């Protein structure tokens, strides 16, 4: 099949590359000329394990191409996937669909034969209806079909999630479109991916509902962690005990600094905004959002307690600053709020992250990136384990720091309290 992918961000690039690896002819379109030129040269704009190899392989095989010419790409394709960003609007909970409708406008002008237009982007329920209405003002409904096909890709595991998904959700009542998309995903279905055909509105809502439920699990266990600290109970015992219940499951029951990234924060907010528009209250999700927003203040208070109220001129090292390991994504990372707060209190902050330097902290005078763990940790007063990259799991902290007067605040509960205490390290956990 000839596939056009509009948007070469995280979702678009992974989707396009994986479809090309399944043998389809794919063109990825973006209006960023520099990004397109870099992709042609094999330079990948995101950190995702295994993605660079697949890009080079399929580009060399000519199954994958990159361009800025959206009009030509739409005309030459059978399937058009919309994979542009839908961020939260400023000073609002609603999703910003500006990029969606800009793309739709271009598509509508370039439908020259039968097309299936697929929204991969996470969009509020009824967005597909609006897209269909806009295109039908310029083209006959016989020429196109609008389908919702939400993505369920985890950063750091995206290729595996695409190739071996839990489910493939296709939102359409058009039998021809459903048949074609089922054929597209056939190799993945044969590997065990469950195929679900629903209404378009249901597909749109499935994505938001799934992410909101997982975000709620995280907020829940973090609140239980707060209680555990008060009653001197290990939160990990609670997580394990709850997770053994098959009705609950162990995933997303690990206490930490709160959820972040490109999905959970914006999707929970967008779902609340949608509910408000339809005069429906989502009190549980609203509580989860509020709880997560307060999480940063709780962490900051804990840091102050560890430092005995003396933050000024303290040398604080962050190990990892991304919202999760195996990605360079800083969106909604707890570090984006914690580090400025500590900097304002006069702390001297160093950080190391395997994914590299972050522009988010470039403007801060006393926030310094080091490309070696040893350099970042040297002479620290407090080490904060913020992101659970694998290379942080077996560190010799005393050797790294160079003195014994430091503390470790493990926000991911990577280490054992007993082991750290036996080694004479002042250790604190969630």
Distance CA 178, CA 198 (A): 10
Q: Closest by alpha carbon to 188, among 170, 207, 162?
A: 162
126 CB contacts (<8 Å, ≥6 apart)? 201, 204
A 10 A CB-CB count for 320 gives: 24
Q: Closest by alpha carbon to 321, among 355, 295, 294, 371?
A: 355
Q: Closest by alpha carbon to 15, among 181, 201, 251?
A: 181
Do residues 35 and 45 make contact, with C-beta atoms less than 8 angstroms apart?
yes
Do residues 274 and 88 make contact, with C-beta atoms less than 8 angstroms apart?
no
Distance CA 83, CA 12 (A): 5
- The secondary element (H helix, E strand) that includes residue 356 is none
CA atoms within 13 A on the CB side of 380: 28
Do residues 304 and 407 make contact, with C-beta atoms less than 8 angstroms apart?
no
Q: Closest by alpha carbon to 392, among 406, 405, 376?
A: 376
Distance CA 5, CA 202 (A): 23
Is 263 one of the catalytic residues? yes
78 CB contacts (<8 Å, ≥6 apart)? 1, 2, 3, 114, 115, 116, 180
In 3-state terms, what secondary structure has residue 63? coil
Q: Closest by alpha carbon to 82, among 116, 57, 49?
A: 116
Do residues 45 and 26 make contact, with C-beta atoms less than 8 angstroms apart?
no
Distance CA 191, CA 263 (A): 26
- Angle between the N-to-C axes of helices 51-60 and 10-21, in degrees from 0 to 180, rounded to the nearest 10: 50
Q: Given 4, 83, 228, 263, which residue is catalytic?
A: 263
CA angle, corner 288, sides to 287 and 291, nearest 5?
Answer: 85
Q: Which residues are catalytic, by number? A: 263
């Amino acid at each position: 099949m000839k596939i056009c992918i509009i948007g070469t961000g995280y979702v678009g690039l992974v989707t396009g590359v994986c479809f090309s690896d399944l043998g389809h002819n794919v063109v990825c379109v973006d209006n960023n000329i520099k990004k397109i030129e870099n992709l042609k040269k094999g330079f990948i704009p995101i950190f995702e394990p295994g993605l660079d190899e697949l890009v080079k392989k399929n580009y060399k095989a000519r199954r994958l191409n990159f361009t800025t010419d959206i009009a030509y790409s739409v005309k030459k394709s059978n399937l058009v996937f919309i994979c542009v960003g839908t961020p939260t609007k400023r000073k609002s909970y609603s999703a910003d669909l500006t990029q969606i409708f800009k793309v739709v406008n271009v598509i509508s002008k370039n439908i020259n034969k039968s097309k299936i237009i697929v929204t991969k982007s996470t969009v509020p329920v009824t967005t597909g209806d609006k897209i269909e209405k806009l295109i039908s003002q310029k083209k006959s409904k016989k020429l196109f079909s609008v389908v919702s096909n939400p993505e369920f890709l985890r950063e750091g595991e995206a290729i595996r999630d695409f190739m071996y998904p839990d489910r493939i959700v296709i939102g359409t009542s058009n039998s021809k479109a459903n048949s074609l998309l089922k054929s597209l995903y056939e190799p993945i279905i044969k590997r065990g991916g469950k195929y679900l055909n629903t209404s378009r509105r249901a597909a749109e809502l499935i994505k938001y509902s799934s992410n909101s439920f997982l975000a709620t699990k995280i907020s829940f266990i973090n609140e239980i962690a707060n209680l555990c600290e008060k009653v001197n109970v290990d939160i990990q015992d609670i997580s394990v005990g709850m997770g053994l219940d098959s009705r609950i499951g162990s995933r997303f029951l690990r206490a930490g600094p709160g959820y972040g990234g490109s999905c959970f924060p914006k999707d929970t907010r967008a779902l609340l905004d949608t509910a408000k528009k339809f005069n429906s209250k989502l009190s549980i999700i609203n509580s989860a959002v509020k709880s997560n927003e307060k999480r940063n203040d709780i962490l900051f208070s804990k840091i102050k307690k560890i430092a005995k109220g003396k933050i000024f001129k303290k040398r604080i090292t962050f190990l990892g600053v991304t919202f999760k390991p195996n990605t360079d994504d800083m969106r909604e990372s707890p570090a984006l709020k914690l580090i400025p707060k500590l900097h304002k209190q006069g702390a001297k902050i160093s950080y190391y992250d395997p994914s590299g330097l972050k522009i988010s902290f470039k403007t801060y005078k006393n926030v310094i990136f080091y490309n070696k763990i040893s350099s970042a940790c040297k002479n620290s007063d407090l080490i904060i384990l913020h992101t659970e990259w694998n290379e942080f799991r077996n560190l010799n902290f005393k050797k790294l720091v160079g003195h014994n007067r430091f503390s470790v605040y493990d926000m991911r509960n990577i280490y054992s309290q007993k082991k750290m205490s036996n080694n004479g390290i002042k250790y604190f956990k969630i």
